[in-house]
Chains A and B, each alone.
Chain A
Amino acid sequence: EVEVVESGGGLVQPGGSLRLSCAASGFSFAGYAMTWVRQAPGKGLEWVLGISGGGTSTYYADSVKGRFTISRDNSKHTVNLQMNSLRAEDTAVYYCAKGSNYYAYYYYLDVWGKGTTVTVS
């Protein structure tokens, strides 16, 4: 079964750091882009970061550029999201999603995790 499972969420103070992880299984991990999407309380979905299958190309929304870093370990089938300089507006449920191709663009998100909650307060 194709699956992605997020972990690492929690409560952190403004200005603090947190590291989220996403463990993938059931597919050829290195062949697919991975993406983080978040949903703030009472708000809609926001595409936040994407990484290509090989990990050499990364893409960021302006709202997190310079503060968040996405990386992946293809040997462990994991994607990581390092969040620094956290702000109250980063409070959200963070979803990890598998892309339909290698690139993290011109794609769709076909497998989603259940999400992990980050609260900055």
Chain B
Amino acid sequence: DIVMTQTPLSLSVTPGQPASISCKSSQSLLHSDGKTYLDWYLHKPGQSPQLLIHEVSNRFSGVPDRFSGSGSGTDFTLKISRVEAEDVGVYYCMQSKQLPGTFGGGTKVEIK
């Protein structure tokens, strides 16, 4: 299975400040079709997980533009340009290039 490693485990951020989460995969997520199958999800307290970013850098419908994704191959980053109170929760990266899909361990974002 492809192993997904996220850092840091947790992040405490002042509102209005930026935040960055790293995700590394044990194998390249670049497929021969030219797409890279790496997505980001946010699991807010008491809610179901929600899709933020798909295929590295594509914001899902309704996701604010303060969220952005970047990276290639095995190294990926999720950035929040200005953290807001509603952004608290656990962020997960997930690969779907190889079955079974695998999630990173999660990064918990809290507000200072």
Majority secondary structure, A binding face: strand
The reply to whether the CB of B89 lies closer than 8 angstroms to some CB of chain A is: no
Instruction: Identify B104's interface contact among A39, A44, A106, CB under 8 A.
Output: A44
The reply to whether the CB of A45 lies closer than 8 angstroms to some CB of chain B is: yes
Nearest CB of B to A111, in Å = 8
* Docked CA distance A62–B100 (Å): 8
Nearest CB of A to B100, in Å = 4
Q: Nearest chain-B residue to A107 (Cβ)? A: B96
* Docked CA distance A95–B99 (Å): 18
A45/B50 in contact, CB under 8 A? no
A113/B48 in contact, CB under 8 A? yes
Q: Nearest chain-A residue to B90 (Cβ)? A: A44
The reply to whether the CB of A27 lies closer than 8 angstroms to some CB of chain B is: no
Q: Which residues of A contact B105 (CB under 8 A)?
A: 44
A27-62 contacts to B (CB < 8 Å): 35, 37, 39, 44-48, 50, 59-62
Interface size on B, residues (CB 8 A): 30
Q: How large is the interface on A (under 10, 10 to 19, 20 to 34, 35 or more residues)?
A: 20 to 34
Instruction: Identify A108's interface contact among B39, B43, B47, B106, CB under 8 A.
Output: B39
Instruction: Identify B100's interface contact among A61, A109, A113, CB under 8 A.
Output: A61
Majority secondary structure, B binding face: loop
A44/B49 in contact, CB under 8 A? no
The reply to whether the CB of A114 lies closer than 8 angstroms to some CB of chain B is: yes
B49/A50 in contact, CB under 8 A? no
Nearest CB of A to B77, in Å = 18
B96/A112 in contact, CB under 8 A? no
Nearest CB of A to B64, in Å = 17
Q: Which residues of A contact B37 (CB under 8 A)?
A: 105-107
Q: Which residues of A contact B80 (CB under 8 A)?
A: none
Q: Nearest chain-B residue to A46 (Cβ)? A: B103
Q: Which residues of A contact B (CB under 8 A)?
A: 35, 37, 39, 44-48, 50, 59-62, 95, 97, 100, 104-110, 112-115
Q: Which residues of B contact A (CB under 8 A)?
A: 1, 31, 33, 35, 37, 39, 41, 43, 47-51, 54-55, 60, 90, 92, 94, 96-106
